[in-house]
Chain A
Amino acid sequence: MRDKSFYRSIGLKCGLEIHQRLKGGKLFCSCRSTLSEEPSLEIIRKLRAVYGELGVVDRAAAFEHMRNRKFVYKYYPSESCLVECDEEPPHQVNKEALEAAITAALMLNAKVVDEIHVMRKTVIDGSNTSGFQRTMVIALDGYLEYKGEKIPIAQVCLEEEACGILEDWGDTVVYRLDRLGIPLVEVSTGLLEGYSPEEIQEIALLIGVTLRSTGKVRRGLGSTRQDLNVSISGGSRVEIKGVQELELISKVVENEVERQLSLIKLAKELKEAGVREEDFKPPMEVTELFSETKNRVIKRALKSGGVVFAAALPGLSGFASRELCPGLTLGKELAYHARAYGVGGIIHSDEDLAKLKLEDEFKKLRELLKAGSRDLIFIVAGPPDRAAEASRAVVERAKQLLNGPPEETRAANPDGTTRFTRPLPGAARMYPETDIPPMPIPREYVESIRASLPEHWEQKVKRFTEQLGLPRDLARQVVWSEYLSLFEEAVEKTRLPPTLIASTLVSTLKDIKRRDKIPVEQLPDEKIMEALLAVDGGKISKEALPDVLRELAKSPGETVQAIAARLGIKPITLEELREIISSTIQDNMEVVLEKRERALGLIMGRVMAKVKGRIDGKVVSEEVKRKLKEVLSTSRVEA
Chain B
Amino acid sequence: MYSPEVEKALESAGAHIGDIIRIQRGSEVYEGILLPRSEYGDPSCIVIKLSSGYNIGVKYTPGTVIKRLRKAAEVGKFPAKKAERKPSLPPVSLIATGGTIGSRVDYVTGGVYMCVKPEELLYLTPELEDAVYIERMRSPFLVASEDLTPDDWKEIAEIAAKELNTDVRGVVITHGTDTMHYTSAALSFMLRNLSKPVALVGAQRSPDRGSFDGAMNLLCAAHYAARSDIAEVAIVMHGESSDTYCYAIRGTKARKMHTSRRDTFRPINDLPLARVWPDGRIEALNTKYRKRGSSEVYADTAFEKRVAIVKA
Contacts and interface: CB of A to CB of B under 8 A. Distances in A.
A131 B110 contact: no
Contact of A44 (B42, B106, B211, B243): B243
Contacts of B258: 87
Given A89-B260, A137-B50, A54 B73 contact: yes
B54 A119 contact: yes
B63 interface: no
A87 B262 contact: yes
Contacts of B73: 54
B78 interface: yes
B76 interface: yes
Contacts of A29: none
A430 B123 contact: no
Interface string B61-84: 000000000000101111100000
Choose among B40, B57, B207 the residue with the greatest number of A CB atoms under 10 Å from its CB.
B57
Contact of B241 (A85, A122, A432): A85
A214 interface: no
A431 B53 CA distance: 8
Contact of B76 (A55, A140, A440): A55
A53 B243 contact: no
Interface in A14-60: 42-56
Interface string B255-299: 000101110000000000000000000000000000000000000
A189 interface: no
A53 B107 contact: yes
B210 A61 contact: yes
Contacts of B75: 53-54
A86 interface: yes
Contacts of B209: 50, 120, 130-132
B64 to A, nearest CB: 11
Contacts of A88: 260-261
B112 interface: yes
A318 interface: no
A394 interface: no
A437 B211 contact: no
A177 B124 CA distance: 27
B241 A43 contact: yes
B53 A49 contact: no
Contacts of A103: none
B29 to A, nearest CB: 9
Interface string A425-445: 001111111100111100000
B211 A130 contact: yes
Nearest to B264: A87
B211 A131 contact: yes
B59 A114 contact: yes
B123 A111 contact: no
A68 to B, nearest CB: 11
B183 to A, nearest CB: 24
A136 B54 contact: yes
Contacts of B123: 51
B212 interface: yes
Contact of A54 (B76, B112, B212, B261): B76
A117 B56 contact: yes
A110 B261 CA distance: 40
Contacts of A111: 28
Interface in B36-60: 38, 40-42, 45, 47, 50, 52-59
B152 interface: no
B215 interface: yes
Given A45-B242, A48-B210, A114-B57, A155 B52 contact: yes
Interface string A599-636: 00000000000000000000000000000000000000
A447 B289 CA distance: 68
B208 interface: yes
B203 to A, nearest CB: 12
A546 to B, nearest CB: 48
Interface string B83-106: 000000000000000000000011
Nearest to A121: B53
B6 interface: no
Contacts of B30: 140
Interface string A104-140: 0000000101111101111110000111100111001
Interface of A: 42-56, 61, 82, 85-89, 111, 113-117, 119-124, 129-132, 135-137, 140-141, 155, 157, 427-434, 437-440
10 contacts: A45-B242, A48-B212, A54-B107, A56-B76, A87-B261, A132-B210, A137-B52, A427-B53, A430-B54, A438-B57
In the complex, the 4 A-B pairs of residues with the closest C-beta atoms, listed nearest first: A131-B210, A115-B57, A53-B107, A55-B76
Given A115-B56, A117-B54, 7 more contacts: A45-B211, A51-B124, A114-B58, A116-B57, A122-B210, A131-B209, A438-B47
Interface of B: 28, 30, 38, 40-42, 45, 47, 50, 52-59, 73, 75-79, 105-110, 112, 123-124, 205, 207-212, 215-216, 241-244, 258, 260-262
